[in-house]
């Protein structure tokens, strides 16, 4: 009887070609040959399988009424009750955050919309904290107050999920401004969907980012449906990687984790040296837009199953591991069983965690000692006229107010940098 071998943890170099060529806009595309290792491929399989199991479990918790509020999952097609309200899943799109994370460091910033659970996990978040937040518990990543749409992990520079469609992109470009101002060799990734790609604020943010050559990377996760609206019904040109016009762009197979890794590595190098770039990740969500959407009224079940069979990101990595003899089918099945146990244990622990104290209603609402101290201001006074002593404010100010103060509006005279 043959001895049982362990799944490969080798770090020997391995080169694998991407599933499809990159399509570029006013920039030379990166090579299709991606440098990886057996250990990295195994990690991709594990991490994406964990993400999907977490999302499937969130679906079940929502149906059991243990999750309340909005919930947008990042995986496949199942969820309505421990989670309440909207629930947006990420299954099918796991390769985007897994590949992106493999190309960058935790010093780089990420900001996204409401389909944020798996990005939190990829940034080093743990399952208990994730499930606790979904259930509105004190130990959640936002102390139970953010819920599904507002995951957050500041120590890993994950600036959260945002519920206002497209509004996170200007914030992400602001993060890129801060990185350039501090002379850091880091970048900011702003993720948004094809539905948000038509928002005017994206173009405004991209314009100023290009003008100032900010290290801003705009990532359009094109899953082809904005809620229930197909991209062709909402966009005259759904080639989102070209939307920057004078800003370079790259279209990527977002279901190929190695292609995503290669594209994000390329984008980071470009952004630091030259300024913004747009990445369009051609991906797909198996679930409906949210838990209230069955996902089958505007597309066919055959379409969904066809993508699962032909392009599923986890199955692609499984095939690579087997083709290169880096694991056996039994070893991968065992890994999936262990992941299921890990998720179940995290759910049990999250269920036992306490609900937030009532005092949480009043925490992190206002910054103490900062802002307008008097209810009435005599125009044309600005907020700079108020005493700033003791607020930890440096003398360094960037004037970005576009003459608002001189026109009689109550406003800051620029961006005030706070000491940390």
What is the 3-state composition of the chain as percent helix, strand, coil, each rounded to the nearest 5?
40, 15, 45
Better pLDDT: 395 or 175: 175
Tokens 């099918």 belong to residue = 92
- What are the residue ranges spanned by the domains of the chain? 14-359, 367-420
- Mean of pLDDT values over 126-143: 95
Task: Count other Cβ atoms within 10 Å, centred on residue 53.
Answer: 20
CA distance 345 to 127: 9
- Mean of pLDDT values over 81-96: 72
Contact 98, 51 (CB under 8 A): yes
CA distance 175 to 177: 5
Token pair for 17: 């070609």
Q: Give residue 292's pLDDT band: very low, low, confident or very high (50, 70, 90).
A: low
Measured at the CA of 263, the angle between CA 41 and CA 238, to 5 degrees, comes to: 120
What is residue 355's predicted lDDT score, i.e. its pLDDT? Answer: 93
Residues 6 or more apart whose CB falls under 8 angstroms from that of 64 comprise 81, 82
Tokens 């590595």 belong to residue = 265
Better pLDDT: 402 or 312: 312
Q: Give residue 59's pLDDT band: very low, low, confident or very high (50, 70, 90).
A: confident
Enumerate the β-bridge partners of residue 13.
none
Better pLDDT: 301 or 218: 218
CA distance 343 to 128: 8
CA distance 233 to 222: 14
What is residue 90's predicted lDDT score, i.e. its pLDDT? Answer: 80
Angle between helices 329-352 and 313-323 (to 10 degrees): 140
Q: Which helix (H) or strand (E) holds 373?
A: none
Contact 102, 316 (CB under 8 A): no
What pairing do the DSSP bridges indicate for beta strands 229-230 and 225-226?
antiparallel
What is residue 344's predicted lDDT score, i.e. its pLDDT? Answer: 98
Better pLDDT: 9 or 41: 41
Q: How many CA atoms lie within 13 Å of 352's alpha carbon, on the beta-carbon side?
A: 7
Task: Count other Cβ atoms within 10 Å, centred on residue 417.
Answer: 16
CA distance 87 to 59: 8
Burial status of residue 184 (CB atoms within 10 A of its CB: 0-12, 13-18, 19 or more): middle
What is residue 381's predicted lDDT score, i.e. its pLDDT? Answer: 46
Token pair for 78: 């199942």
Better pLDDT: 84 or 354: 354
Question: Could you please report the per-residue DSSP string of 208-242?
Answer: HHHHTT--EEEEEEE-SEETTEEHHHH-S---GGG
Contact 187, 108 (CB under 8 A): yes
Better pLDDT: 235 or 389: 235
* Domain range 14-359, CATH architecture: 3-Layer(aba) Sandwich (3.40)
CA distance 234 to 316: 31
- Mean of pLDDT values over 298-318: 94
Q: Give residue 410's pLDDT band: very low, low, confident or very high (50, 70, 90).
A: very low
What is residue 406's predicted lDDT score, i.e. its pLDDT? Answer: 44
CA distance 252 to 250: 6
Q: Give residue 414's pLDDT band: very low, low, confident or very high (50, 70, 90).
A: very low
Residues 6 or more apart whose CB falls under 8 angstroms from that of 229 comprise 195, 298
- Mean of pLDDT values over 109-118: 96
Q: Which helix (H) or strand (E) holds 267?
A: helix 257-274
What is residue 128's predicted lDDT score, i.e. its pLDDT? Answer: 98
Most confident listed range (1-15, 304-318, 388-402)? 304-318
Poorest-pLDDT segment among 78-87, 342-351, 362-371: 78-87
Q: With 60 as the cut, is the pLDDT of residue 420 above it?
A: no
CA distance 278 to 261: 15
- Whole-Å CA distances, 109 to 123, 197, 271, 313: 10, 20, 13, 24
SS3 category, 82: strand
What is residue 86's predicted lDDT score, i.e. its pLDDT? Answer: 60
Q: Indicate the average pLDDT of the chain.
A: 85
Task: Count other Cβ atoms within 10 Å, centred on residue 28.
Answer: 8
- The per-residue pLDDT for range 209-224, each reduced to its tens digit, is 999 999 999 999 999 9
- Mean of pLDDT values over 315-320: 98
Nearest Cα to Cα of residue 127 among 332, 319, 348, 293: 348
- The per-residue pLDDT for range 43-57, each reduced to its tens digit, is 999 999 999 999 999
Q: Give residue 378's pLDDT band: very low, low, confident or very high (50, 70, 90).
A: very low
């Amino acid at each position: 009887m043959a001895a049982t071998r362990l799944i490969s943890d080798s770090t020997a170099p391995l080169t694998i070609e991407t599933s499809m060529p990159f399509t570029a806009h006013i920039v030379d595309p990166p090579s299709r040959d991606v440098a990886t290792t057996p250990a990295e491929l195994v990690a991709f399989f594990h991490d994406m399988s964990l993400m999907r199991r977490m999302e499937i479990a969130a679906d079940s918790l929502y149906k059991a009424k243990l999750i309340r509020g909005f919930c947008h999952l990042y995986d496949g097609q199942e969820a309505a009750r421990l989670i309440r309200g909207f629930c947006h899943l990420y299954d099918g799109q796991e390769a985007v955050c897994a590949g992106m994370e493999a190309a960058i460091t935790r010093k780089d910033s990420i900001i996204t919309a409401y389909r944020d659970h798996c990005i939190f996990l990829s940034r080093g978040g743990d399952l208990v904290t994730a499930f606790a937040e979904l259930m509105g518990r004190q130990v959640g990543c936002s102390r139970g107050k953010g819920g599904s749409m507002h995951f957050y992990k500041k120590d890993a520079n994950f600036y959260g999920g945002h519920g206002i469609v497209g509004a996170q992109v200007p914030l992400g470009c602001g993060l890129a401004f801060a990185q350039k101002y501090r002379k850091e060799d880091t970048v900011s990734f702003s993720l948004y969907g094809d539905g948000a790609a038509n928002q005017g604020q994206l173009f405004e943010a991209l314009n100023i980012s290009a003008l100032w050559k900010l290290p801003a990377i705009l990532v359009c996760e094109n899953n082809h449906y904005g809620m229930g609206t197909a991209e062709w019904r909402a966009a005259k040109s759904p080639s989102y990687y070209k939307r920057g016009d004078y800003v370079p762009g790259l279209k990527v197979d977002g279901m190929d984790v190695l292609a995503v890794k290669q594209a994000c590595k390329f984008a980071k190098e470009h952004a630091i040296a030259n300024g913004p770039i747009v990445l369009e990740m051609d991906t797909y969500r198996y679930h409906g837009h949210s838990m209230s959407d069955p996902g089958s009224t505007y597309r066919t079940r055959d379409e969904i199953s066809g993508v699962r069979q032909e392009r599923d990101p986890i199955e692609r990595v499984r095939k690579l591991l087997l083709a290169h003899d880096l694991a056996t089918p039994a070893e991968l099945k065992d890994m999936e069983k262990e992941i299921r146990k890990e998720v179940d244990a995290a759910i049990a622990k999250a269920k036992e965690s306490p609900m937030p104290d009532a005092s949480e209603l009043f925490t992190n609402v206002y910054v103490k000692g900062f802002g307008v101290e008097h209810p009435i201001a005599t125009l044309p006074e600005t907020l700079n006229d108020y005493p700033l002593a003791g607020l930890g404010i440096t003398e360094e100010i960037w004037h970005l107010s576009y003459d608002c103060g001189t026109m009689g509006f109550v406003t800051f005279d620029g961006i005030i940098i706070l000491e940390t």
